[in-house]
Amino acid sequence: MFGRGLRSLSIASLVLVTSAFALVFFYAPNEADQGFVQKIFYLHVPLAIVALSGFVAGGVYAVRYLQTGDRAHDLRSYVAIHLSLIFGIGVLATGSIWAKASWGAWWVWDEPTLVSFLIVFLLFACYQPLRFSIDDPERQARYAAVFAIIGGAFVPLNFLAVRLAESLIHPRVLSTTGGAMPGEMRLTFLISFVAMVCLFVTLWKYELASKHASMRLRALKRSLAGDEAAGPLARTAAPTQI
């Protein structure tokens, strides 16, 4: 059900990520101002865009869950947010390393882009504890969906607010007026972005397939060996049935 196309997606991810890294280090020229350290851009920015899009996707699936009551959408929303949090850790780590190299500080608190991403990350970091705190699976899914929708709607609003705010040091590369990346840099960035999207979708489907297999296995155990053999269902943040 969820694992369809996983093999081809995995191969595509491997090829794309390898190609992207090869382009970053052997094709894209060094940026005139920052030099070699700007290579972090091809990792940090696609990771950030994909992580934020994943939060929005979590919100979209939450809407679909509330519309249809289909628990598969709750699972999709949960996994999208879970993966976005992992990608978010990557964004914060790579961003901090880049900041230290370029600005001499691991973190700059008065920079809207950095702080806004941290706020979004911390907001969604509450998603799993919220789910964990609710015992009833039906209520858990419903409350989590409401949270995911509000959080998901907050992401573009937050992005817009940051764009409108005056940036102090964080560059605005992808804008209608700025940017002007040379062809080699633009191509490398695009391949890196597609690679990151492909990797996200692959891991998303991978985790969905794993969770679904686990649920089906539990149901099978219950029907074959009875409730006692299956044991009591431990409280978990993840959806337990679809």
Partner 1 sequence: MTPALPLDDAGPYVAGAYLVFLALILLYVAIMATKLARIERELVELSELAERRREAPAEEQEEPEAVPR
Write out the residues near partner 1 by the rule CB under 8 A: 21, 30-37, 39-40, 43-44, 47, 86, 89-90, 93-94, 97-98, 100-102, 199, 203, 206-207, 210, 213-214, 217, 220-221, 224-225
Cβ–Cβ under 8 Å, residues 44 and 91: yes
The residues that bridge with 31 in the sheet, in sequence order, are 35
Q: What token pair was written down for 181?
A: 């990346």
Q: By three-state DSSP, how is residue 34 classified?
A: coil
Nearest approach, Cβ of 203 to partner 1 (angstroms)? 7
For partner 1, which is the closer residue by CB, 130 or 230? 230
d(CA 166, CA 152) in angstroms, rounded, equals 24
For partner 1, which is the closer residue by CB, 103 or 161? 103
Nearest approach, Cβ of 176 to partner 1 (angstroms)? 25
Nearest approach, Cβ of 163 to partner 1 (angstroms)? 24
Nearest approach, Cβ of 107 to partner 1 (angstroms)? 15
For partner 1, which is the closer residue by CB, 4 or 163? 4
In angstroms, the first-to-last Cα distance of the chain is 12
For partner 1, which is the closer residue by CB, 99 or 162? 99
Output the CA torsion sign for 58, 40, 159, 182: negative
Closest to 88 in 3D by CA, of 129, 56, 118, 57: 118
